[in-house]
Amino acid sequence: MAIETAKWKVARVPARLAFLALLLGSFSTLALSQDTAPAVLTRLQNHINQGSVEEKRSALFEIRNLRSESASRIAVPALNDKDAMVRATAAGSVIFLPKPEAARALLPLLTDKSEFVRTETAYALGKVGDRSATAELVRLMKSDKILEVRTAAAIALGENGDASAIESLIGVLKSRPKEDEEFLRRSAARSIGQIAQINVTGDPTVLTPQNFLPDKFKDLGSSDATGPVPKIFANAVDVLTAVLRSKDESDDTRRESAFSLGAIGDSRSLDILRGYVASQDPYLAEICKEAILKIERRAKTSS
């Protein structure tokens, strides 16, 4: 079974966000089908237009689970609801609109007065995956006063897969490590590799490590990358290498840096990665093994 060591929105989340997440999950949702018949949509629309806060949020959860464009369209007015919890819930409910439309609907909420709304909107934009959001997500990651919001933006940039965000993500890692910024740093490290992976394979899914099985049982995804590593990714190698070597970095940040070195595929990383395949940290050791396999596969394809 694949083991994922970094579950976004779980590790080291401050208490106030953990409470809000618990509050969101505490509302019961209806058993949903994929039926988006007019009667279903009308019922949901009535709840959003005229219901209480609880009814609106319950309808929005149902819309999210329907995973359809027609249902997501009903959620759009809730993005402007006077209640911040409704706006935050709506952000995750419009993501099944066409990508450009969903991005246009969500982008204004990145300046919402509620930090929780800004956080959930950033996460939603990552799920949408439209690169028109890159500039605003970069701005949010750099300048928002709330660390959780900045971290959500860093995660979303990885899911968007836009290579133009690489330099900004590198900038996060160039700063001196601070304990309270651990989640931001590991998110930035992962997102660099995730962007590289999306550009090579089109797959945004990241498992670190992929599994602990022998090499022949590892499914590292298809890759037809050949030739030199694009400069925009190669620029990240030195910074990621420094993070991997640093004793001041958290274990998770070092693991994500090793993953990203493998995703980038620069042969310059082989020596540093080989130095950690016998690490006492079994997760780091396995990630480095997988990174080496990816780089060697790229080198073989290019030869």
The domains of the chain, with CATH numbers, are 31-153 (1.25.10.10), 161-303 (1.25.10)
Q: Please, which residues have CB within 8 angstroms of residue 154's CB and are 6 or more apart in sequence? A: 141, 169, 172, 184, 187, 188, 191
**Model confidence over 48-105: pLDDT tens digits?**
999 999 999 999 999 999 999 999 999 999 999 999 999 999 999 999 999 999 999 9
Quote the pLDDT of residue 298.
81
pLDDT of res. 4: 42
Q: What is the largest CA-CA distance in the chain?
A: 64
Tell me the two tokens of residue 209. Answer: 């490590």
- At residue 24, the pLDDT reads 44
Question: Is 161:198 a contact under the CB 8 Å cutoff?
Answer: yes
Q: Residue 274 and residue 268: Cα distance in Å, rounded? A: 11
Which residues neighbour 25 within 8 Å (Cβ) at sequence distance 6 or greater?
none
- Tell me how far apart the alpha carbons of residues 214 and 171 are, in angstroms, rounded to a whole number: 36
Residue 300 is predicted with a pLDDT of: 77
286 contacts 40 by C-beta, under 8 angstroms? no
Q: Find out whether 198 and 204 touch, Cβ atoms under 8 Å.
A: yes
Q: Residue 21 has what pLDDT?
A: 45
Q: Do 208 and 4 contact (CB within 8 A), yes or no? A: yes
Q: What is the pLDDT of residue 218?
A: 80
pTM of the model: 0.85
Helix axes 282-302, 251-264, angle to 10 degrees: 10
Q: Is the dihedral of CA 90, 76, 72, 143 positive or negative?
A: negative
The parts of the chain modelled with pLDDT lower than 50 are 1-35
